Chain A
Amino acid sequence: MNMEGKTWPFISTAWKFGDSISTDHISPGRYFHLRTNLPELTKHTLEDAREEYASNVKSGDFVVAGRNFGMGSSREHAAIMIKMSGAGAVVAKSFARIFYRNAINVGLPAIICNTDKIADKDQLSIDLELGKLKNETKGFELTFSPIPKEMMKILSEGGLVPYIKKYGDLKL
């Protein structure tokens, strides 16, 4: 899989967030009117969690969070915005159901793993196929359970839209 020229695994910076980051933190409802202008909307990604994220995130960086990431609304914009902001993956201890599904559908890897020992700005490399996350800054490795195979089929096509374009049907 390619992230704008980068091939997995690659080393990037962690942006650390806490528990219970909701879709309202990621994509505040007050920017409702921008939902049809995704580049503008993306300037507000995660604004109510960390205001500096959207203007400083670099392509390939990792969003790293605690429990229940993406809880709340089903707005797919939340996953799209994180993807469009340049993030290479979201790593969290757990995800809300709809967000997890949306992330895979838009081609954003969502990785479930214990993030306690990952700090802001740590350098991480992630190998999706092997299910390994390496903290290069602190020098330790974590394993994570692989993305379910049905969803991996979607993710490896780059999301559900390219998947349907290719197969014309849901065949999981």
Chain B
Amino acid sequence: MNKTLSEKILSRKVGKDVSAGEIIVTDVDYMFAHDASGPLTIDQLRTMGIQKPAYPDKTIIIIDHAVPSPNKTISNNQEKLRKWAIKTGSRFSEAGRGICHQVLAEDYASPGQIILGTDSHTVTAGALAAFGTGMGATDVAVAIGLGKTWLRVPETIMIKLDGDLPTGVYSKDAMLTFIGKLTMEGATYKALEFSGSAINNMRMDERLTLSNMAVEAGAKVGLISSDETTKKYLESRGRGEFFQKIMPDKKAEYTETLKFDASEIEPTIAFPDTVDNIKTVSEAAGTEIQEVFIGSCTNGRIEDLRIAADILKGKKVNPNTKLIVTPASRETLLLAVQDLTLQTLIESGATVTPPGCGVCFGALGGVPADGDRILTTSNRNFKGRTGNPLSGTYLASPATAAVTAIKGEIADPREML
């Protein structure tokens, strides 16, 4: 046996040994569409003459991108999705419940599954050893209609992170460092697999950040073996029975193995307009920032909010900067209310918006002005990403975001910890 994690999951799924390069047709465990691509998905189903999902209980419609809806066109589109979900008996995640990838992690994803979504960050589920991958509306429509999809079994690049991340350095910094090395196309058509002692020691929220950004290097999937942490996470979600241990074989073949020493990773920032345009925070310190956003499917979980709140406690957001905080899910929001994280953030001057994609993709609130620099904890910074092509988007960890909000310029979180 010499299978990578991808080959293992896909072989189990199709019931025979498959290896990189093969094209397979496989069943899908969950397929979802959100309010940005959902209307097109159901239109494509209609055009194909398919009336209902092959498996309504595996089909999920999620309203997360525009929450709450800012205008009647979007409201009508969301209503169309809601009606379709009810009519077909599909699962439905209402506006305010959370960002699709966070909802999938909390309620659905488990090891060995195949998950398709009309969203590139469906790779997030890889942190739970689920083969999650993003596809376009038509591919997902076919999966909804037939319950299956076609895939090319990917080659795999192994990323090995050993050692301990220093204080003030997080999985986001590690991932930005990896992408800087891989470049934004370095893993195109391939899978990423993360391993090493630092990954083994990571909490699930930290792992979700890594897998989430696999697509920023072009990868099809970003997988992590399932272990005790996965098991505990599933148990905490009342889904313990879905745990199974999946890991690659010792002799699995990788096209490349990149090794990193966690102790050498520094707080890292991606500069506009590409995710691989990285600098260390020390190189970037002093760059003025007009807006800071803490949220998104990359870093909008409760642990991220707590990291930011610990730094912002008793301090004020700089008068030249705005801070917007958007919890990734309703549950995140509720936990942040219960443990007073939210109070700390609000007292510091943060504006808190409802669970959803928020500022991340530039269609809702928080659009930066011409010439502004916005620093966000999300995952991509292409020109115009946050709504204004005349502004620049910078990516960093929640800790870097919090100190930057206080200073009004890019600053090193290690100074305040």
Q: Is the CB of A150 within 8 A of B150?
A: yes
Q: Is the CB of B148 within 8 A of A170?
A: yes
Q: Is the CB of A101 within 8 A of B139?
A: yes
Q: Is the CB of A33 within 8 A of B71?
A: yes
- Contacts of A2-54 to chain B: CB distance below 8 A: 20, 22, 24-25, 28-30, 32-37, 48
Residues on A with beta carbons closer than 8 Å to the beta carbon of B139: 101-102, 105, 160
Closest to A36 in B: B39
Q: Is the CB of A75 within 8 A of B36?
A: yes
Q: Is A74 an interface residue (CB 8 A)?
A: yes
A164 to B361, CA, bound (A): 32
Residues on A with beta carbons closer than 8 Å to the beta carbon of B362: 24, 28-30
> If A32-B36, A68-B218, A170-B148 touch, does A25 touch B138 (CB 8 Å cutoff)?
no
Q: Is A1 an interface residue (CB 8 A)?
A: no
A138 to B239, CA, bound (A): 63
8 Å CB contact of B142 from A28, A75, A76, A164: A164
Q: Is the CB of A48 within 8 A of B149?
A: no
- Contacts of B32-59 to chain A: CB distance below 8 A: 36-37, 39-40, 44, 47-50
**Which segment of A90-98, A115-123, A128-136 sits at the interface?**
A90-98
Q: Is the CB of A20 within 8 A of B138?
A: no
Q: Is the CB of B136 within 8 A of A75?
A: yes
Residues on B with beta carbons closer than 8 Å to the beta carbon of A160: 138-139, 142
Number of contacting residues on A, CB 8 A?
44
A35 to B282, CA, bound (A): 41
Q: Is A126 an interface residue (CB 8 A)?
A: no
Total number of A-B contacts with CB less than 8 angstroms? 146
**B6, chain A: closest CB distance, angstroms:** 14
Closest to B386 in A: A29
Q: Is A161 an interface residue (CB 8 A)?
A: yes
Q: Is the CB of B136 within 8 A of A76?
A: yes
Which A residues form the contact surface with B (CB < 8 A)?
20, 22, 24-25, 28-30, 32-37, 48, 67-68, 71-77, 79-80, 94-98, 101-102, 105-106, 150, 159-161, 164-165, 169-172
Which B residues form the contact surface with A (CB < 8 A)?
23, 25, 36-37, 39-40, 44, 47-50, 65-66, 71, 73-74, 77, 117-120, 122, 134-139, 142, 145-146, 148-150, 184-185, 188-189, 218, 220, 274, 361-363, 367, 380, 382-385, 387-389
Closest 6 CB pairs of A and B: A76-B136, A32-B363, A102-B136, A22-B382, A74-B134, A68-B185
